[in-house]
Amino acid sequence: MPTTVISDRGPQFVSKFMKELYQMLDITQNASTAFHPQTDGQMKRVNQEVKKYLCIFINHRQDDWADWLPLVEFTYNNQVHSATGKSLFMVMYGRNPHVIPDSPRSSPFSVPTTNNFADAMTQIHKEVQNTMEASNEKMKAQYDKHKRNSVMYQIGEHV
């Protein structure tokens, strides 16, 4: 279960029913600022990717899309993201997922120690943090290129 849900202010998200459901499930609801697409732009981007993958997998009647969601989620979570330089799976678990191998597996005794794993996770999170900061700086620079300075009006001026 999520601990926080960020949504736009659509009636399906801010209804009394949803507020009570969130309260029952101990979920914090945060509604995005009206007319501020940057707030939920990340989710819209994820939805674009999900649609792209579903178009690849679904049948011609488009009635089996729900069957493909687990594979779509797996695919999305294992793509390297430009903001982090890592896949979401790598960020969460410190390794790539186990999939059916093309060749025989190596020895099962090559399990990393707890310290090695903890060190690897710490390193991954530092790298992700640095990459995200760099990505945020790039996005800010791009945004600032088109940003207009606020106009200051004096009392009595015609606007």
**Domain range annotation of the chain:** 1-34
pLDDT at 105 over 80: no
Are the C-beta atoms of 52 and 58 separated by less than 8 Å? no
Sign, CA dihedral 44-49-54-27, equals negative
DSSP code of 139? H
Contacts 24+ apart (CB under 8 A), 114-119: none
Task: Give 38-77 pLDDT, tens digit per residue.
Answer: 777 777 888 888 898 888 878 788 888 888 888 888 888 8
Quick one: pLDDT at residue 84?
85
Mean pLDDT of all residues belonging to the chain: 81
CA distances from 113 to 20, 66, 94, 116, 122 (A): 45, 39, 13, 5, 14
Quick one: pLDDT at residue 11?
83
Over range 95-124, report the average pLDDT.
66
What token pair was written down for 55? 């178009």
pTM: 0.52
pLDDT at 112 over 70: no
User: Above pLDDT 70, what percent of the chain?
Assistant: 87
Task: Give 121-151 pLDDT, tens digit per residue.
Answer: 778 778 888 888 888 888 888 888 888 888 8
